[in-house]
Amino acid sequence: VKEAGRNNFHFYTGEMNAHALRWMSLEVHLRHAVERNELRLYFQPQVSLADGRVTGVEALLRWQSAELGMIPPGDFIPLAEDSGLILDIGTWVIEEACRQMKAWHAKGLPPMTVAVNVSARQFATGTVPAVVRKALRDNGVAPRWLEVELTESVMMHDSDHTQMQLNELAAMGVSISLDDFGTGYSSLGYLSRFRLDKLKIDQTFVKNITTDPRSAAIARATTALAHGLNLIVVAEGVETEGQLAFLRDMGCDKIQGYLFSRPLPVDELSVLLLEQRML
């Protein structure tokens, strides 16, 4: 037992060093990721429960590093936020989403919304509306097809500054979606103050919706509240038929989750959309 404990200790410090090293080397590598074309957008469909069709996709970052392999966003977004790299990366995400929309339009695919995640740090610069306007214009994309996803934390920090930018985006015709609802410092005041179009029920509630009455109650109340404010309700992280049935019953408008599709690289998404068009 004693020996095992000592091994554990060694193992633990080894892990700590490895972790620190990995973090430092990650930052160095991440700095070059954009220039070296190592970032990719994957797209996860959102499906309307009214007719079962894909009405839009969420763009999710992937980093395919030559040295480090495939790194999921949960492992590098926090680092990108800390280091400020999220500003360049976030701009790239908005531009790439618009380039992709242009390519889909050129292929004759039916138009659909593309949602991009925009972090608090990006809003803090005050440049989000300008970046969005330029990306849309450069690619000839109508603003109504772009959706900006933000979390409650964005509205919390310097909310006047954020509100102005959201108003500007809304005036352009871009939709605004409130992500991860119920997990942050939720305040109902935000819902009336900010001009929103969509609300996404967080996957932690969806996960337990059929087994935990409290998660179900929160999801139900959130849906009623959102509908009262004329917001579209999207449930994320839908993995089972049971969850789907529950959400449908509850009046949820759209679902996103592995049950329908994982986030897909662009080629695979195009195949899925072309198949749908032929139905």
Q: Which of 27, 168, 239, 268 binds ligand C2E (CB under 6 A)?
A: 239
Q: Does 93 bind ligand C2E (CB under 6 A)?
A: yes
- Consecutive H or E run containing 62: strand 54-65
Quote the tokens at residue 9: 């200790």
Is the Cβ of residue 90 or residue 129 nearer to ligand C2E in the bound state?
A: 90
Binding mask 104-123 for ligand C2E (x = CB under 6 A): -------------x-x----
- Consecutive H or E run containing 43: strand 39-48
Radius of gyration of the chain (CA): 20
Is the Cβ of residue 87 or residue 191 nearer to ligand C2E in the bound state?
A: 87
**Contact positions vs Ca ion (CB under 5 A):** 117, 149, 179-180
What's the min distance (Å) between Cβ of 179 and Ca ion? 4
Q: 10 Å Cβ neighbour count for 217?
A: 12
Q: Which of 258, 265, 271, 274 binds ligand C2E (CB under 6 A)?
A: 258
Q: Which of residues 27-86 bind ligand C2E (CB under 6 A)?
A: 44, 60-61, 72-74, 77
Q: Give the residue among 176, 126, 175 at the shortest CA–CA distance from 151.
A: 176
What's the min distance (Å) between Cβ of 77 and ligand C2E? 5
CA 125 – CA 139 distance, rounded (Å):
23
What's the min distance (Å) between Cβ of 220 and Ca ion? 19
Is the Cβ of residue 58 or residue 223 nearer to ligand C2E in the bound state?
A: 58
Please give the full DSSP string across 152-183, using - where no structure is assigned. HHHHHTTHHHHHHHHHHHHHHT-EEEEEEETS
Look at residue 143 and give the partner it binds from ligand C2E, Ca ion, none, a contact being a CB closer than 5 to 8 Å depending on partner kind. Answer: none
Q: Does 177 bind ligand C2E (CB under 6 A)?
A: no
- Judged on CB neighbours under 10 Å (0-12, 13-18, 19+), 221 is exposed
- Judged on CB neighbours under 10 Å (0-12, 13-18, 19+), 171 is exposed
Binding mask 133-172 for ligand C2E (x = CB under 6 A): ----------------------------------------
213 neighbors 219 (Cβ within 8 angstroms): no
Is the Cβ of residue 38 or residue 180 nearer to Ca ion in the bound state?
A: 180
Contact residues for ligand C2E (CB under 6 A)? 44, 60-61, 72-74, 77, 90, 93, 117, 119, 179-180, 203, 236-239, 257-258, 263
